[in-house]
């Protein structure tokens, strides 16, 4: 994704380092872990979906985060 190229060739003086997003159909959690563990850069891996999210499922996950920390 050539973040380095952008940092040196395209950035203006006031610009911050570029951010990269790998937008992927299959989000392989291991790879995400590897990516975030191994690099202290602004590279992120996210997944895209071609349908509306199941909000109830997401809500359950969010509720779990809220309740777990208590």
Partner 1 sequence: MNEPIEIENNKDYEELIKSIENIVSSSKNKIANTINDTMVETYWNIGKYIIEFEQKGKVKAEYGQKLLLRLSKDLKLRLGKGYSRSNLYNMRKLYELYPIFQPLAGKLSWTNLCEILTINDEMERNFYIAEASKEKWSKRTLKRQMESGLFLKLAVSKDKDEILALAKTGQEINEPKDIIKSIYTLDFLNIEDKTDYSESQLEEKIIEKLEDFLLELGKGFTFVGRQYPIHIGNDFYHADLVFYHRILKCFVIIDLKINKVKHEDIRTNEYVYGIFCDRRK
**Which parts of this chain interact with partner 1 (CB under 8 A)?**
1-11, 14-28, 31-32, 34-35, 38-39, 41-53, 55, 58-59, 61-62, 65-66, 68-70
For residue 10, the minimal CB distance to partner 1 (Å) is 6
The DSSP secondary structure of 3-16, one letter per residue, reads HHHIIIII--TTPP
For the chain, the C-alpha Rg in angstroms (whole number) is 17
Q: What is the DSSP letter of 51?
A: S
């Amino acid at each position: 994704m050539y973040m380095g190229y952008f940092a040196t060739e395209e950035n203006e003086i006031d610009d911050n380092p570029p951010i990269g997003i790998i937008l992927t159909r299959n989000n392989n959690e291991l790879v995400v872990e590897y990516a975030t563990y191994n690099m202290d850069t602004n590279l992120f891996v996210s997944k895209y979906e071609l349908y509306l999210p199941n909000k109830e499922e997401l809500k359950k996950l969010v509720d779990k985060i809220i309740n777990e920390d208590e």
